[in-house]
Amino acid sequence: MQEYKNIRLEREEGIATIFLNRPKALNALSPELIDELDNALAYLLNLDKTLHGIILTGEGDRAFAAGADIKNFPHLAKEGGVELARQGVEVFGRFEKAPVPVIAAINGFALGGGLELAMACHLRIASENARFGQPEAKLGLTPGYSATQRLARYVGKAQAMYLLLTCEMIDAEKAQQLGLVNEVVKQEELLDRAKSIIQTVSKMAPLAIKEIIHCVNAYYDPELDGFEEEIQAFGRCMGSEDLQEGVSAFVEKRSANFKGQ
């Protein structure tokens, strides 16, 4: 398993867990940490064809990530700000496009860039102590890792405006009410719940899962016609060996043995 300075990787039965690992700084996202996330994602997707899903979580019990590393900001100026924002947007976008489910297991503060990373994941499971917010305006900033774009997709424009303009922090229950998180569980059950969702998805046909992620993302991509993407994806799946296996398994009343082909 690959070694990193700012993240930690664990792997168990086709499930990779990436721990954001700067607990003394509440797992704040430094540029080095974001580079390591990018590297870990490429490593997992390229080297590991048996990967069923990825969990992103925070080391320790206080934070998923309390934002981008604020202490780095005063040195950046305009060009540095653009460069850093672009780095995060591109890397988070690669997580969103991953062909296997990526689940944010949110175990405490998910603020600023931390919430933006969680929003790029396909699903968000929160522990009861999780807290969410976009406090950038308090620091003199707009969000830089796409909260102005993704937050409204989950909670609607009015609630997104409210959270972004007031910088109010909300708890896990409110986040679930708003549709920002899928589920809220006890902290000690968080990783097990995320793993059990990936295990459920792992029983489905891998090609269909990859295509579903692509098609749902396509709805939000102005360069793609999501409806056409779905038509084409449906055709690709119809021509796959997995479709033959799925239908045979249904007729023979047995579990399917998908090969991802």
Q: Out of 144, 175, 180, 202, which residue is the one contacting ligand CO8 (CB under 6 A)?
A: 144
60 counts as binding ligand CO8 under rule CB under 6 A: no
Residues contacting ligand CO8: total by CB under 6 A = 24
Is 28 a binder of ligand CO8 (CB under 6 A)? yes
CB of 150 to ligand CO8, least distance (A): 12
Q: Compute the least distance from the CB of residue 34 to ligand CO8, in Å.
A: 9
Catalytic, 136? Answer yes
Minimum distance of ligand CO8 from residue 161's CB (angstroms): 18
**Is position 116 annotated as part of the catalytic site?**
yes
> Residue 147 or 197: which CB sits closer to ligand CO8?
147
Pick between residue 29 and residue 197 the one whose CB is nearest to ligand CO8.
29
Show the binding pattern over residues 86-105: x = contacts ligand CO8 (CB under 6 A), - = does not.
Answer: --x-----------------
Q: How far apart are CA 59 and CA 39, in angstroms?
A: 18
Active-site hit among 36, 83, 96, 116: 116
- Residue owning tokens 């699903």: 123
Place of tokens 């969410």: 132
Region near ligand CO8 per CB under 6 A, out of 41-49, 81-89, 201-209, 231-239: 81-89
Q: Catalytic residue positions?
A: 116, 136
Q: Which residues of the shown chain bind ligand CO8 in the complex (CB under 6 A)?
A: 25-26, 28, 66-71, 81, 84-85, 88, 109, 111-113, 135-136, 139, 141, 143-145
